[in-house]
Every structure is written in C-alpha cells, then in structure tokens.
Copies of this chain bind each other. A is one copy, B any other.
C-alpha cells in the first residue's frame, strides 16, 4: 500500500491502527488547536523535543501539509478525537464538522515511533504489537514535561518488549532517528516511571512480555493529548492513539 492509498482508504472510511501500514513512510501524530493556543503548544514542543518532535505546522485555518501531497488533514486519518475543556468528547472518523467549529485551527504534525519500527524489523527485532496485530501499548508516566505558557502535563511513553540481548541494538538503531522520538527514555523497571501494571496501558492495547524480554519505553506523541487533558485546553482535535497520519516522506529522511 502506498501512502496515498493509505490516506485514501482512511478518507473512505477505514478505521484501523496504522502500525505497519505503507511501511517505510513516516507516520505522524496530530494535534489541532485554536490559533490562540499555538504559541504555547509550539513552545511546549520545543521544550519537550523527545515526546514532541514537530515535523510540520500548518498555516492557521489550513488542512494541507508539506509532508503529503494532496492530503486533507480533516479526513485522511483513520480516527480522530475531539477534546472539549480537556475532556475527550467523541471519536470520529471524519473531523470535517469539528474543524468547521474553529476557523483558525493550527495543526501540528509530530513524529511517531512507528518510523523506526521498520529498521528494527530489518535488524531482526520483533515488534510485538505488529506480530499480535494490535495497537502499541502506551502509558502516562510520573515524568512531568517542562511547562510552556498554559500547557503542562506528563510524558506519555510507548512500550515494546525487547529480548535482553537486543536492547542495546534497539537503542543504537532508534537513537539514529532523533526526529521521531530517538533513543528510549527508559529501559526496564516500569515502577520507577509510575507504571504499576504493564497489562493495563492508558492508551492502546496490552502486549505479551515473554521470559527474557525487557520492557523498553520510548517518548510518545500522545504526550500532547495528556497536556490537553492536564491543562484543560478548551478545544482540540487529535489523532486517536495508534491511528496516525501517513505521510509521503520516507523514514530515511529522519536518519542521522
């Protein structure tokens, strides 16, 4: 499936996690905010680049992006979340009506760790949530992001179980992709991140952790949604966790 085909499928109603879809092309987290909140958010992202690496920002009121030719950000993601006063109001597969409520939305596209899953797979490192055909597990942590203006909140992480003898390889490989979360922020010991039960993620689905595997945690682009909740942002549209925007940009763009 090409990125264009993936976006068209979503526009035509496909609702599914996008892990593994159009492999080799960059997927993005999305958050749209009224222009009045755009400065606070861009500053929040600058101050928290591991969870919030910004890959593109639209002009206010626009829904096109330099990352994907012909895309419409209102319809081309498989599933959206509409937030009101910091609370999840609804999930929709087409955000056109919600978008129309605010004529000056500024949309931020944020790097996603799915980007480095292809090189991990190529190195023979299994990605459990792809094997299981489910969404990646994500957890809120006890690590506060550095605040900016009215925005504050915890860092959210994604977790992949990695065999102990491949953890160093996973660090080395993902560390070469700083634009899409880069190296893990934490390896092993979920309790010290404030995670009490790996089987009950805050977002996404639980995955099996086998003997000899270590839970490895990467900063996650759902962190802005945690900030929306913690900061009671009046209005926001985001992707639903794991249901990303598929761009035309090859993953190799972010390799250093």
Contact = CB atoms under 8 A, between A and B. Distances in A.
Interface of A: 38-39, 42-43, 46-47, 54, 57, 66, 146, 175-176, 178-179, 182-183, 256
Nearest to A66: B146
A38 B39 CA distance: 8
A50 to B, nearest CB: 11
A132 B103 CA distance: 56
A249 B179 CA distance: 21
Contact of A42 (B42, B178, B179, B182): B42
A59 to B, nearest CB: 9
Contacts of A54: 46
A184 B44 CA distance: 28
A182 B179 CA distance: 12
Contacts of A176: 256
Given A46-B54, A47-B57, A256 B39 contact: no
Nearest to A49: B179
A146 B42 CA distance: 17
Given A39-B38, A39-B39, A178 B256 contact: yes
A248 B182 CA distance: 24
A86 B146 CA distance: 33
A176 B256 CA distance: 6
B182 A256 contact: yes
A196 to B, nearest CB: 31
A57 B49 CA distance: 13
A236 to B, nearest CB: 18
Nearest to A183: B256
A54 B183 CA distance: 20
19 contacts: A38-B39, A39-B39, A39-B42, A42-B42, A42-B43, A42-B46, A43-B57, A46-B54, A46-B57, A47-B57, A66-B146, A175-B256, A176-B256, A178-B178, A178-B179, A178-B256, A182-B256, A183-B256, A256-B256
Nearest to A39: B39
A182 to B, nearest CB: 6
Contacts of A182: 256
A66 B146 CA distance: 11
Nearest to A46: B54
Residue of A46, A175, A183 ringed by the most chain B CB atoms within 10 A? A46
Nearest to A35: B39
A42 B38 CA distance: 11
